Amino acid sequence: PIWRSFGIGSTRSWNKSKPNSTSPLVSRSPTTGAKTPFRYKDACFYEISARTYADSNGDGRGDFVGLTSRLDYLRDLGVDCLWLLPIYASPLRDDGYDVSDYLTIHPDFGTTRDMEELIAQAHARGIRIIFDLIPDHTSNEHPWFKAATKDPTSKYFNYYVWSDTANKYNKARIIFLDCETSNWEYDPDVQQYYWHRFFKSQPNLNFQNPDVQEEILEIMRYWMSKGIDGFRVDAVPYLYQREGTDCENLPETHTFLKRLRHVVDSEFPGRILLAEANQWPQQLLEYFGNGDEFHMAFHFPIMPRIYISLRKENVSSLVWVMNHTPPIPPTCQWCMFLRNHDELTLEMVTEEERQYMWHEYAPDRMARLNLGIRRRLAPLLGNDQRRIRLCHALLFTLPGAPILYYGDEIGMGDNVSLKDRDGCRTPMQWTSRKNGGFTSSDTPIVPPVSDPVFGYHSVSVEQQQRQPSSLLNWVRHAIRKRRQYPVLARGLFEMVLT
């Protein structure tokens, strides 16, 4: 095949009277001092687990100060925007997606001042930063949920979804089939069931309650006032429930999302919202609205079909999904990725395709996670440099904005013997020295990969910077080439088979 693009609340009080002036539309170029817009449609995004990226103080945990020290590397790589995985206070039962305080930074990362310095230094280098916003649920250790279970007459009781029976909304699928058997969990204190779409430790918020909507809007305002450039909004299809439906993609969801977008456009112009909605393209189209909901959305169905086409040496699966991708509003953009951070997600495939992917790419059951595969790119492809570069070439030329996962630019490996997401969130490998240069601690929060093929003695930034033909230098060159041709991000797309 030839790939061708053508054509050209309980939230604490804060001062919201003066939004931070360092918005994407007014950030200064580090070379000219001119005002530059956030060209999100053309941007190259880079996803970071800050907890395992760079440790500045030797406590074994990555932090904002460490990340700030690596901004020059990211600028030189060609990164336009950093996407930081959850940074909020959390008991970390789900890697931070179980939030116990939306307005507090987890102490692992440092202080609010450290975060503000990170944002300022990133903006000085022309790099934007987006955070995760997790509106669907909280941790069961959040003060709202604790207040709800302590006193069912408190206002916080209606912040969550309760039922006397576990039979409501029985058309809704169970998402985490490998560890949950129901979307309801019984609370002995309340003597009722609460609704959860993910882990039982993550009760869903009740978006039928206007107070909950206001809480989420205030949380968004708080962080945007600190200068961040937008949010990747987690699990947006599941905000509302209604009997007789599958409780996904309901019209009420879009009503709230339009309100979310209105707040961004009116109060923080130039910031962006990125939708995490693991749905088919026609359903994803709804999350763009008429250009008045999300600016960007992940294209989940295309991801596994890259790997199916590669292994079968037959592009028909990829052609099919591209042919079923509808046009989107002109101000919107797809986000392309090679894995949903630490997982090659297999929800948007047929059961036959899923079994094929497991057989070909994850014969070891330890490499499987729910309905996906928890492997990094290089191990998935047998460390075949031609295939790794081919997948990156597709990432940079398919229509949309590419998202790199930290460490993929050097071909980092994984460790599936570690629990859950940790297997693909091992420390960034900077050098061949102790712990790959991630930390001086003897007890890093996650052990670095140390096997002979992918370990930091064999794979590191320092090593590849010295090798002109390395994967790192190839990726850097590919990003620069993509930047030279805006048609790759904005042009029409046609697949020509030969």
The C-alpha angle with vertex 108 and arms to 107 and 110, in degrees rounded to 5, equals: 65
Task: Report the alpha-carbon distance of residue 157 to residue 145 in Å, rounded.
Answer: 7
Q: How far apart (Å, rounded) are the C-alpha atoms in residues 87 and 102? A: 9
User: Catalytic site residue 246?
Assistant: no
Asked if 474 and 465 touch (Cβ cutoff 8 Å), the reply is no
- The two tokens of residue 333 are 């953009």
Q: How far are the Cα atoms of 98, 140, 200, 310, 396 from residue 387, in angstroms, in the given order?
A: 36, 43, 39, 8, 14
Three-state secondary structure along the chain? CEEEEECCCCCCCCCCCCCCCCCCCCEECCCCCCEECCCCCCCCEEEECHHHCCCCCCCCCCCHHHHHCCHHHHHHHCCCEEEECCCEECCCCCCCCCCCEEEEECHHHCCHHHHHHHHHHHHHCCCEEEEEECCCECCCCCHHHHHHHHCCCCHHHHHECEECCCCCCCCCCCCCCCCCCCCEEEECCCCEEEECCCCCCCCEECCCCHHHHHHHHHHHHHHHHCCCCEEEECCHHHCCCCCCCCCCCCHHHHHHHHHHHHHHHHHCCCCEEEECCCCCHHHHHCCCCCCCCCCEEECCCHHHHHHHHHHHCCCHHHHHHHHCCCCCCCCCEEEEECCECCEEECCCCCHHHHHHHHHHHCCCHHHEECCEECCCHHHHCCCCHHHHHHHHHHHHHCCCEEEEECCHHHCCCCCCCCCHHHHHCCCCCCCCCHHHHCCCCCCCCCCCCCCCCCCCCCCCHHHHHCCCCCHHHHHHHHHHHHHHCCHHHHCEEEEECC
Annotated catalytic residue within 55, 276, 343, 409? 276
Q: HSE-up of 424 (CA within 13 Å, CB side)?
A: 27
Q: Which of 234, 293, 408, 409 is catalytic?
A: 234
Environment class of 191 (CB within 10 Å of its CB; exposed 0-12, middle 13-18, buried 19+):
exposed
Please indicate whether residue 276 is annotated as part of the active site. yes
Catalytic residues: 234, 276
